[in-house]
Amino acid sequence: MPILSVKDLQVTFDVRSAGSWPWTPPRKLHAVGGLSFDLEPGQTVGLVGESGSGKSTVARALVGTVPASGGQILFEGQDLAAMSPQERRRHRKDVQMVFQDPLAALNPRMTVGDIVAEPLVTHHPETSRAEVKKRVGDIMERVGLLPNLVNRYPHEFSGGQCQRIGIARALVMKPKLLICDEPVSALDVSVQAQVVNLLRDLQRDMGLSMIFIAHDLSVVKHISDRIVVMYLGRIMESGPAREVTLRPRHPYTQALISSVPIPDPVLEKARPRPILEGELPSPLSPPSGCVFRTRCPKAKPDCAEPKDRIQREGEVQVACPYQEVKDALAV
């Protein structure tokens, strides 16, 4: 049974134009539309897509900081989207999040020890100070930080160290699900590898289930069991990580993979590189039918018609009836 099952998740926002009259009805911004996927215990699902595709909105809907407009978020069989804030609070310790900007996610007026201990004090106020101190020291060691650093402040650490502090804060509650919202995008390449390897080790040791959000398909492939490719809040392709990255079917997935550089100048120069033309459409007025059709090199007139385009081939799902399997160089 999946630990997390997202079914037809929809997130919309009311947007008012500057200078509009108070009685003017707001426009609907469709951030996420009809997203569905399952996450098995101990596995990782990677969400990939360019900026504006709705990945971070999905993460915030899962943790409850953004309300879902429709659909279900089933965590261990219970629908989080239908719960009141008071009911959802009981599950908050089981679903934790690591944010994109490591320094901005930490309170500059609190010491590292207090930052990591805050979830324990909030959810388990009966825990003794000695136990809190012990658990904070243990989790800091597990993320690669010395326990004697607990009295320092976030500005005294590097970006990679601040991200480790954010991971420690998320894991001190021993959650069942960890959501990582682009946790390595603000870090150097060498530090990215360290943080990704740390997350893999912690997942194996603690039995975590993870949702990993990133732009870089090479990073996502390294840590994910399954990959979900998003565009304008919709799923373009999903399936096992190796299948999606080595044999992409959707034109958007193929374009994302071609944008990942290969550390071999001969192969890099020789491989075909499909280029996406145009800009990402506005979620205030998404294209009719297939939302990718305005930039798709294989678009046909009937792509503008509203109909189900999901094609299934084994464990892979593709939102395109004109899919074409294409072998890709390893990313």
CA atoms within 13 A on the CB side of 122: 14
pLDDT tens, position by position, 271-311: 776 667 778 888 888 898 899 999 988 888 888 888 777 88
Picking from 180, 207, 184, the residue whose alpha carbon sits closest to that of residue 194 is: 184
| pLDDT at 203 > cutoff 70 | yes
Separation in Å, CA 280 to CA 33, 49, 83, 127, 150: 16, 11, 34, 49, 44
Rounded to whole angstroms, the Cα distance separating 17 from 326 reads 43
The sign of the torsion formed by the CA atoms of 211, 216, 222, 225 equals positive
Q: Contact, 265 vs 64, CB < 8 A?
A: no
pLDDT tens, position by position, 81-129: 888 888 888 888 899 999 988 888 899 999 999 999 999 999 888 989 9
Sheet holding 4-15, edge to edge: 27-39, 4-15, 70-75, 78-79
Tokens for 130? 């000695």
| pLDDT at 138 > cutoff 60 | yes
Q: Contact, 13 vs 29, CB < 8 A?
A: yes
pLDDT tens, position by position, 221-271: 889 999 999 999 999 999 999 999 999 999 899 888 887 777 777 776 777
Position with higher pLDDT, 156 vs 329: 156
Buried residues in 258-276 as b, exposed as e (16+ CB within 10 A)? bbbebeeeeeeeeeeeeeb
